[in-house]
Amino acid sequence: MNHQIQLNQIVPVENLIAPTFHFKSVDEKFPLRIRGGASLDPFTWMTLAADVENEEGDLSYRFGGEIRLFSRVLALRGGYTTDSREFLAGIGFNIKFLALDYAYSTHDDLGQTHRIGLNIKIK
């Protein structure tokens, strides 16, 4: 099988025209947020990703990867984000129309966090 290395890029801008909210005599505005990211599939079974975010001059970085095994039935994931110094690890199962995901992370403010996701694909 001949695999073409795939590179994806994205640069979203959030809150470019941010509304002002008034709450208890205080005016608040959503901060301007600019992100840039890229993912690379060096093999059909692997994805590597990284992005950078600038929110009001504060930079943060995110890095991660996914390895897909057994004809994409099982996915192992890992990553790190610098803004909350958070390590993430996860596993996913994908069988026909059903996908089950679990993620574990360590967070400065929240401590240990567990996330579970269930997706049902409807065609």
Average pLDDT in the chain? 89
Dihedral of CA atoms 79, 85, 87, 88 in degrees, nearest 10, equals -70
Tokens standing for 60?
A: 């943060």
What is the pLDDT averaged over residues 87-96?
A: 95
Tell me: the pLDDT tens digits for 28-71?
888 888 999 999 999 999 999 999 999 888 899 999 999 999 99
Residue 119 pairs in a beta bridge with: 99
What is the C-alpha to C-alpha distance for residues 90 and 101, in angstroms, rounded to an integer? 7
Tokens standing for 45?
A: 């079974």
pLDDT score of 11 more than 60: yes
Q: Give the residue among 68, 114, 60 at the shortest CA–CA distance from 85.
A: 60
3 pLDDT band (50/70/90 cuts)? low
pLDDT above 70: percentage of residues in the chain: 97
